[in-house]
Structure 1
Amino acid sequence: MALLAAVLATGTEFAWAQASASVVTVIVNFSGNNLMTCRDQRLRGRGLLRGLSIYSAVVSPGAAVNVGIATALFAAASPLVGRRSHVMTIDFLPCRRRRARWSFYRI
């Protein structure tokens, strides 16, 4: 969400910003998974690029659907909220009753 907000702040259209954030997310997820799991099978060099290519090919249909649905929802909500969108997050507060606090941010 922070990356999406940063790209949107530059004036980029929502669909391009969402696609950029999705590509970065795919790379970060693959890299984190490669670093944190199975040290003896960690990919390096050409194997890393091959693994990233295969991973990207496998997850790209889901990423494309994600961008399409998010863009459609953004377009449907745009007349209601103007050119800016609202982002809703849930912050779990460490308190006795374990209540959740809803936060609304304007992008």
Structure 2
Amino acid sequence: MARGVKTLKTYLGRVVRDVERAVAGANTARQAQFSSLLSLSKKIINQTKKSKDKVYSLHEPAVYCVSKGKSGRPYEYGCKVQITLTHQQGLILSTGALHPNAYDGHTLQQSLLQAE
């Protein structure tokens, strides 16, 4: 598996260098189109198993690893969402995405203020 990952990173590095050479002579609009994807690709090339702030998905770079603590599937990839509902009717009062992996107890006050 390690050899396969190394091979894929080598291929990605070649593609990144080719795109950088092709974009270098282009106008600034073309460079701006490729800048975010090139920076994500370089981050993927340089990340290791112990790296913090990893990229898990190119099409959704805000995704992170959420530890569930269950034996069947201990980890999920995504982001936490808070939803505030009314007790009897079940109406949704507020929603929000929690982007770093925030503890639920620390977000309760913000959720209640938003619902009010």
Q: Where on the TM-score scale, by shorter chain, does this alignment land: which range?
A: under 0.3
Which has more strand, going by share of residues? 2
> Between Structure 1 and Structure 2, whose CA radius of gyration is higher?
2
- Give the TM-score taking structure 2 as reference length: 0.25
- Give the TM-score taking structure 1 as reference length: 0.27
Report which structure shows greater RCO (CA 8 Å, sep ≥6): 1
Which has more helix, going by share of residues? 1
